[in-house]
Amino acid sequence: MTPDIAFLLLLLATLAWIAVPFIPALMELISPHDALPLNAVGQDSGQLTYFAASFTERMTREGLLGTSVPPSLSDGSVVRVHSAMTPLVPSTQPITDLVVLMDDTPVADGTIVATECLARRTFRGGANSSYRAVLGQRDIHLGANTTVVRWVHANGRLEASTGSRLSGRATSDREILLEAGVQFDRLDAPMVRVGGGGTMETPVMPVSAYTPFTPERAIALGPGYWRVTGDLVIPPDTSVAGSIIVIGNLVVSQGARVEGSIKSHGTMHIKTGAVIMGSLSARKRIVIEDGARLSGPVISETSIVVGAAVVGIASHRTTVTAPRVELRTGATIYGAVMAADGGESLK
C-alpha cells in the first residue's frame, strides 16, 4: 500500500467518524418522520413579564407604592402625579416625567407619555394616546387608537380598544381582552380573548363516540405513530388514536378527533367541531375554524388563523406561535400568543 493511499484511507475514516453524530439529523432532513410536538414556543415566552416585574421592584424600592409619593426618584427623575385634583393635561410635547396615577380618574384623549406609567388603581386611558410602558396594579383599559411602545402589564384585566397597537409585550395576571382591529406582537395571560361574546366550546366526548380511522398509505413508525406521504383528509366524526406526520397538506374534517399530535409539511385546516388533544405544527398556514378545540401548542413557520375556537385549557396553558397570527372574534387562547412579524385581532 502506497503512502498516498494510506493517507487517503485515514482521511476518509476520520471524516466518517466526525460525521457519525450528524447522521440522525441528516436522515430527518432527507426523510422527516418525527411526530412529536415541537419545543419552540416563541422567543423568551417564559419571560414576557420580566420588564413589569423589574419595574415593580424599582417602584417598591422608591416608595411609589406607599401611602405617599415622593416628588422624585433616587436618580433625580421627576415624578408627576395624575389624580382627580391634579390631572395630566395633554400637550403637543410628550410628558417625560414618570407618571403615577393615584386614582381611577381617566387620562385625557391625546395624552403622550414618553416614560413609564404606574397606575395604583384602575388605569383608564383616553383615545389617540401613546405610552412608553404601563403597569397597572388593577385593571387597564386602553382607549381606541392607543399605542404602547414597549410593554404593558395588568395585575387584573387588560383591555385594548379598536385601533390600538401593543408593541413588545402585553401581559396580564388575569385576562387579555382585545376588540377587533388591535395589532400586537406578544401576548401572555391565563386567558386571551377577542370580542366580548362567548366562544362556542365543542364538548370533548369519549373516544367510543367516534368511528376509528387509520390513514391509508400510512407507515406505522411505532404504536399510535404514523407517517403519511402526500395529502391527508381525516373524515368527519372519526377518531385517530395517535400522532401523525403528513408529508403534504392536512384537513381535519368537521367533528373529527385526534388523540395525539399532528405535523404537516404543507398547510393545515382544522374544521368546525374538530378536537385535537395534542399539538399542531406546520411549515405552512394553519387555519382553525369556529368551534374547534385544541389542547396543545399551535406552531407554524408562516401564519396561523384562529377563529372562534379554543386553544389550550385553563389548567394547562399553551402557546400559539407563528410569524403572523390572526385572532378572529371569539378566539380564546389559554396562554401566550407570539407573532414575530405582527399579529392582529379581526372580526
Residue 45: pLDDT band by 50, 70, 90 thresholds? very low
Distances (CA, A) of 194 to 32, 45, 128: 36, 20, 21
Tell me the average pLDDT across 261-270. 97
DSSP symbols for 245-300:
EEES-EEE-TT-EESS-EEESS-EEE-TT-EESS-EEESS-EEE-TT-EE-S-EEE
User: Which of 3-17, 108-122, 166-180, 281-295 has the least mean pLDDT?
Assistant: 3-17
CB 41 within 8 A of CB 280: no
Across the chain, mean pLDDT equals 88
Q: How far apart are CA 18 and CA 342, in angstroms?
A: 41
- Residues 6 or more apart in contact with residue 47 via CB below 8 angstroms: none
Model confidence pTM above 0.85 = no
Residue keyed to cell 466526525: 18
Tell me the average pLDDT across 121-139. 96
Q: How far apart are CA 270 and CA 236, in angstroms?
A: 11
pLDDT value at position 17?
Answer: 58
Residue 26: pLDDT band by 50, 70, 90 thresholds? very low
Ranked by mean pLDDT, which of 65-79, 187-201, 264-278 comes out on top? 264-278
pLDDT value at position 33?
Answer: 44
* Chain center to CA of 43: 10
Q: How far apart are CA 243 and CA 235, in angstroms?
A: 16
pLDDT value at position 270?
Answer: 98
Residue keyed to cell 396561523: 304
pLDDT tens digit string along 132-177? 999 999 999 999 999 999 999 999 999 999 999 999 999 999 999 9
Residue 28: pLDDT band by 50, 70, 90 thresholds? very low
Residue 40: pLDDT band by 50, 70, 90 thresholds? very low
CB 250 within 8 A of CB 268: yes
Q: Assess whether pLDDT exceeds 80 at residue 207.
A: no
